[in-house]
Chains A and B, each alone.
Chain A
Amino acid sequence: MDASLFTSMLFATVVAGTPLIIVSLGLLVNEKAGVLNLGAEGMMAMGAVAAFAVTHHSGNPWLGVLAGMGAGMAVSLIFGLLTLTLQANQVASGLALAIFGVGLSAFIGKPFESIALPAVPPIRIPFIADLPLIGEALYNQQALVYLSWAMFWAVVWFLYRSRAGLILRAVGESPASAHAIGHPVILIRYLAVLFGGAMAGIGGAFLSVFYTPMWVEGMVAGRGWIALALVVFATWRPLRVLVGAYLFGGVMITQLFIQGSGMQIDFPAQFLSSLPYWATIIVLVVISRNVNTIRLNSPMSLGKPFRAEG
């Protein structure tokens, strides 16, 4: 493999992994508070279409990202109202939200089909972008790629170093106990759900404004579901989410390169296309099969409603 091919594959891998990281980190925090929001796909779709529409009208991609974030939060607020205030079933509400978001985004997006946005130029970080092999791939990237790295460290710090994160984990493990020692369980869960929605919205915005700057119905293409699966198979640990997302991106890009290179191979193309999905899952299952790790990291009250007594 020559050096420029390696660099361009690494570049593409990072780009492909970025939306998954952003969305998964949001879902991770969401689920660590004990709320399972299966509507990621719908929130991403809404974020994508809102970001596209605002960018198209204003010409400013950053307003678009804000709009995507807002749309994701608005949809997640519906979910919060249903499951936290009205105590509806989280699984059913999440599934409904996924279908709703995808459908509504298709409806809103109709006028924008076949419009392309101007590409947003990457941000080059001086000096380190000149590093051989990796410099161009890692440090001449979209701003949201850098944001995903910053969010990764922020989430790690928040969950494991801050008091607020400690309280959030406590709520996810045992809401009844957290309530008994005086923490506002429902409020904390709302904030976690909104954070999950915001991140899913940003992930969607990345897809429609930066990754492929156009709107196509169904362009989220299952990434919301992959992000959900990543969090579970990564046993709710941020570093494993990061590894899983890049692994998925890497295998995805590799198989695309193989398919596009015209290499003569005996595998059917469908097999290659499915490779990223099961390769990621197998790797994460293998590194996370320790029962101890699962018990210590999975939020015990995940998906269970909580109602304060009295």
Chain B
Amino acid sequence: MLDTMTQPTPTPAQTAPRLVLSNIRKVYPTVVANDNVNLEVAPGEIHAVLGENGAGKSTLMKIIYGVTRPSAGEMQWEGKTVTVESPAHARELGIGMVFQHFSLFETLTVVENVALALPGKPDLGELAQRIEEVSKRYGLPVDPRRHVHALSVGERQRVEIVRCLLQNPRLLIMDEPTSVLTPQAVRKLFETLRQLAAEGCSILYISHKLDEIKELCHSATVLRGGRVTGHCRPGEETPESMARLMIGKDLPVCEHGASHASDEVRLRLAGLSHATPDPFATDLRDIHLDVRAGEIVGIAGVSGNGQQELLRAISGEEPLAEKFPVQILGTEAGRMNPGQRRKLGMCFVPEERLGRGAVPTMSLADNAILTAAKSQHFVSGGFLAFSRARDFAQNCIQSFSVKCGGPPSPAKSLSGGNLQKFIMGREILQAPKLLVCAQPTWGVDVGAAAFIRQSIIDLRNRGCAVLVISEELDELFEICDRIAVIAKGRLSPVRPTAETSVEDIGVWMSGLWPGSDLAAQQSEQTGELAHAQA
């Protein structure tokens, strides 16, 4: 993604390792999450832990940080064997961690959040000053007095990092830190991490983004199925060779083909505006968008910029006051509920799999009934035809190779990736005229993600209109015919994917597209400030 920055990070001098893990094993009731894992990190080294979802990366980090205990194995910290009792103990030792899902408290201010993680009883005023000092020194602008719920995802991550840095860690663990950042923010983060490493801090960097690891990390340990399957020096590898280490085979490639967009508009957003009194939500402002039959339109953006609200307005979860802003297959559907909209031929895949996309405790067959009952005629004479629902669910499971115990198994028993495949299958097999999906491959491993993307492309080739809202830029560039960006509840102009670039879209993600209010406001200010507001 960031191929413009290829100067390799200088390798640290060879010294005694700071952290040594030997034969770590972690067994959960149903799975072995880590098996015989060995790992060594030197002072000042940026060490990548590479692996697909479910490979055991996060579990390993939780063991180092004392969130969970290993079932067997030994950990050596700066030459001494230690048992990390708790995260507090880990922090005492000098280990800090930035979580993938932030561990911040939304109703508290930044300084209160930081105070919670520090030992003793820090004075809040003094602490606010220290936060400002650290944030200046490492280029992480953060206002200590703001409430966390009012911060963007990028800002929240900065708070997490600053919170770690205040404890002067000698090992910093970063769990998938870039999944929520714009490309520019990623670049800033890498500068910070390099600066830290140069000062002697070791960094464990967990990611499945191979180009980032190649750019940033000195060495890498690859995990697959809970075991170490290889070590490498990312600078000397290609993303393809690391992918082979990671998934054990070559990465499947999507066949995209040319777009066959017709003139028929299947989804039209005509000046969609929607305000909400919820302080944690974003207001939608005057959104215009056409999605035609036979094309895939993507909406990029940093999460929390109105994606949720837009999806709810399109799906009908939050009906609008007016009819005209949402037009589905020519019908003004603004005030319809989700069921009525589905009847028009729209299918919808929400971002949250459990709770929105599927009912966790219900079987896959029952979950199939929930959205496909009408289109697949599961109801005859007022009664449910369970056998038809079972067949349909079985069909989803087979065609999307969902690993599960068959149609009767409850949705919550599936892993995230498998459930996502089932939900995508359920919607795609209904042969929708319009498919709206959010984060279609979120949390899905590389192989399955490629499969889901290919299914979406195939659906388009059969003449369906597809709208994809995703935070993964690479994914959008891979499958979309046209692309737009949502920022602060406004939608950028829609451009053909071939005529734009990751860098342009990255700038747009801060709300700075040609003609936007923000661009006009900030034309004379520095890019960095624009960035801080993202």
**What B residues does A297 contact at CB under 8 A?**
107
The A interface is mostly helix, strand or loop, or mixed, namely helix
* Contact present for B68 and A309 (CB under 8 Å): yes
**What A residues does B147 contact at CB under 8 A?**
296
* Contact present for B68 and A182 (CB under 8 Å): no
**What B residues does A179 contact at CB under 8 A?**
67, 87
* Contact present for A166 and B112 (CB under 8 Å): yes
> For the complex, is B359 an interface residue (Cβ under 8 Å from A)?
no
CA distance A176 to B62 in the complex (A): 13
CA distance A295 to B103 in the complex (A): 18
> For the complex, is B115 an interface residue (Cβ under 8 Å from A)?
yes
> Nearest Cβ in chain A — how far from B28, in angstroms?
9
A170 with B67, Cβ < 8 A, contacts A181-B87, A181-B116 known: no
The B interface is mostly helix, strand or loop, or mixed, namely loop
**What A residues does B279 contact at CB under 8 A?**
291-292, 295-296
* Contact present for B99 and A180 (CB under 8 Å): yes
Q: Please list 28 pairs of residues, one from A and one from B, whose beta carbons are closer than 8 Å in the complex, sorted by A's number.
A: A163-B115, A163-B121, A166-B115, A166-B116, A167-B116, A169-B105, A170-B116, A173-B105, A173-B106, A173-B107, A174-B106, A177-B102, A177-B103, A178-B116, A179-B67, A182-B66, A182-B89, A182-B90, A182-B117, A183-B116, A292-B279, A295-B149, A296-B107, A300-B106, A309-B67, A309-B68, A310-B67, A310-B69
In the complex, what residue of chain B is closest to A183 when comparing beta carbons?
Answer: B116
- The range of chain B's interface size is 20 to 34
> For the complex, is B386 an interface residue (Cβ under 8 Å from A)?
no
> Nearest Cβ in chain A — how far from B248, in angstroms?
29
**What A residues does B115 contact at CB under 8 A?**
163, 166
* Contact present for A174 and B68 (CB under 8 Å): no
* Contact present for B99 and A291 (CB under 8 Å): no
A310 with B108, Cβ < 8 A, contacts A182-B86, A182-B88, A295-B278 known: no
New A-B pairs, 5, CB < 8 Å, besides A170-B116, A181-B117, A182-B90: A166-B115, A170-B105, A173-B107, A291-B279, A295-B279
> Nearest Cβ in chain B — how far from A43, in angstroms?
28
In the complex, what residue of chain B is closest to A163 when comparing beta carbons?
Answer: B121
In the complex, what residue of chain B is closest to A161 when comparing beta carbons?
Answer: B124
> Nearest Cβ in chain B — how far from A278, in angstroms?
25
* Contact present for B116 and A310 (CB under 8 Å): no
> Nearest Cβ in chain B — how far from A295, in angstroms?
6
**What A residues does B86 contact at CB under 8 A?**
182
A174 with B103, Cβ < 8 A, contacts A163-B115, A291-B278, A295-B280 known: yes
**What B residues does A163 contact at CB under 8 A?**
115, 121
**What A residues does B91 contact at CB under 8 A?**
182
> Nearest Cβ in chain B — how far from A230, in angstroms?
21
A-contact bits for B197-226, CB 8 A (1 contact / 0 none): 000000000000000000000000000000
B-contact bits for A171-200, CB 8 A (1 contact / 0 none): 001101111111100000000000000000
**What A residues does B66 contact at CB under 8 A?**
182
> Nearest Cβ in chain A — how far from B529, in angstroms?
27
**What B residues does A177 contact at CB under 8 A?**
102-105
CA distance A291 to B68 in the complex (A): 37
> For the complex, is B277 an interface residue (Cβ under 8 Å from A)?
yes
**What A residues does B117 contact at CB under 8 A?**
181-182
**What A residues does B88 contact at CB under 8 A?**
181-183
**What A residues does B103 contact at CB under 8 A?**
174, 176-177, 180-181
A170 with B108, Cβ < 8 A, contacts A291-B279, A295-B279, A310-B62 known: yes
Closest 8 CB pairs of A and B: A310-B68, A182-B88, A177-B103, A182-B87, A181-B117, A180-B103, A292-B279, A291-B277
**What B residues does A174 contact at CB under 8 A?**
103, 105-106
In the complex, what residue of chain A is closest to B102 when comparing beta carbons?
Answer: A177
CA distance A180 to B99 in the complex (A): 9
> Nearest Cβ in chain A — how far from B360, in angstroms?
15
